[in-house]
Structure 1
Amino acid sequence: MAETATGSSTLPITVEFTGGLELLFGNERKHNVALPAQLKDGSQPNISYLLGYLVDNLMQDQRKDMFIMEDNVRPGVLVLINDADWELEGEEMYELQKGDNIVFVSTLHGG
């Protein structure tokens, strides 16, 4: 995964966690995140980059496997990009845009 940007411009997005995932992120449901607008390799950050960023910078719980499995979103976690299923947007390859709202919804329930 590429590291930080070449330059100082940022890409502001909103990330939300529901269905219990917020417990992994300091019990905060909504986060305003500023990602680098361009990565070192010249590409734009995508959902795959965002996942690594969230785990490295926002996740406060050690149970990474409740959110990420094999470097992708765990099965049972729905991802919405601006209220649309991420499958319609290219999943983890979707290039993030200024002002995007990314929502992670856990459908996993104990019992």
Structure 2
Amino acid sequence: MATASGQDVVPVTVEFTGGLEMLFSNQRKHDIALPAKGEDGNPANVAFLVRYLCKNTMKDHRKDLFVLDDTVRPGILVLINEADWELEGEEQYELQKGDTVLFVSTLHGG
């Protein structure tokens, strides 16, 4: 898949639940045409996806509710194609066409 500019993209579905959707225009599901290569020229991985989401998809200014020190903050479960990202290589997992990445906040007020 390529964009109008000719740049290759990796189509992925990104979903947010557990309250995270409020940071992304109250929309739970986003179909993203992610550039196939990150800023460093390497294949797009989850770390690049997180940066891309913060820059291009997140409308809320409270980025710190999603990321901490440029990584997904503790308390957010990340599933790649319904498997815990720890089983897939976490941020280094190279995204494939058709992947689904789900971010679930497990943080609750009390």
Give the alignment's TM-score, normalised by structure 1. 0.90
1:38 aligns with 2:37: yes
Q: Give the match for residue 3 of structure 2.
A: none
Following TM superposition, the consecutive aligned residue runs of length 4 or more in structure 1 with deviations greater than 6 angstroms are none
Alignment partners' CA distance in 2, 1:95 and 1:75: 21
Q: Which runs of 5+ in 2 are unaligned?
A: 1-5
Residue number in structure 2 paired with 1:86: 85
Cα distance in 1 between the residues matched to 2:39 and 2:45:
13
> Aligned-residue CA RMSD in angstroms?
1.4
CA distance in 2, matches of 1:67, 1:83: 20
Quote the residue 1:18 is aligned against. 17
The number of aligned residues is 106
Displacement of 1:13:
0.2
TM-score, normalised to structure 2's length? 0.91
Please name the residue that 1:67 is paired with.
66
Which SS does the other structure have where 1:49 is aligned? helix
In structure 1, distance between residues paired with 2:95 and 2:49: 9
Task: Classify the secondary structure of the residue corresponding to 2:31.
Answer: strand
